A and B are shown apart, each in its own frame.
Chain A
Amino acid sequence: MTPTLDITLAGIRMKNPVMVASGTFGYGPEYADLVDLDKLGAIVVKGISLEPWGGNKTPRMVEVSGGLINAIGLQNPGVAGFIGKYMPFLRKHDLAVIVNIWGKTLEEYAEVAARFDGVEGIHALEINISCPNVKAGGSSFGTTLESTAKVVAAVRAKTKLPIIPKLAPNVSDIGAFAKVCEDNGADALSLINSFPAMAIDIETRRPILANISGGLSGPAIHPIAVKLVYEAAKAVKIPLIALGGITSAKDAIEFMIAGASAVAVGTANFTEPLTALNVIDGLRDYLARKNMTRVQELVRSIRI
């Protein structure tokens, strides 16, 4: 019997628990020649702010051992630009659309959320409180419990869509951050964003990235992310979406055993655009081999 992969996560129905991560898959059309979008559980689009935003200067990305550091700086066409330019395309596809949002102030977060409320074809908002690349907001919000609580509550007040705060990895006690999100109305959590990191050109003695530092993503961070997911799962009951260094079904399965209800593929889309599809197939094969009939059986199934 073929195991079933469909899940309902925070009220969002998905045909499988495999998504593509914000910032690594554009807004949908970019990879559409290579990846059949209708096979994905969900797309999380690149972070959207109230107004169009230009992002950082180049160089914006550098490859390092086991990963890359990016400092794109959240370049995006703004709420109206995104809805006008990309939603018609996305609505034609059979996958959940989760919009990653950010703001430079609390008010902006709330306003962006308000603007998306009721827009046809959008299934949830992922709140980026943890981007290491925007100084004005992002990073600082996600690293104190107080500001995390405020952002989540502010967004909650403005939308009926499921909201999914995306946690910063560079905290000592991820459980406390997970809990404060749950307490303030989060429907699910995404973890994790990339790690603050830096590379220096030893010939020029300058930082390689124009932004000085950026966020590390890719296989390098996977074992850290698994630990954070495991800790967060102990702290909250709401479902978790895990990401960080997934390159194969094995990596995704580790996350689900540790506590995730769904997973997202990020950097690996660049390495191998078919990764998300391979994860779906590998997950199905694994469940069949293990005689599990529903993917839910895997979630939080760790044996200690």
Chain B
Amino acid sequence: MTIELLYFAWVRERIGKASETVSPPETVTTVAQLIDWLAADSAVHAAAFVDRQRLRAAVDQVFVALDAPLGNAREVAIFPPVTGG
């Protein structure tokens, strides 16, 4: 499975890029597992994702909880709570 990852706001700044393409193993089936998998191999990702309470996500542009299934997601976005308007 190939996923386009998007990062916004301070998640983007801490990771140091706005997007990347990853191919997680089939055992990664939820957003939370994707975050764990990214953090396991990269100190930079681990630092950006250290406080899971402050992370929000969208799968194919639909806002979801972190335990939501990835399904056949093509685009996953990880970001802080929104502060717009």
- Do A and B come together as binding partners? no
Give the interface of B toward A (CB within 8 A).
Answer: none
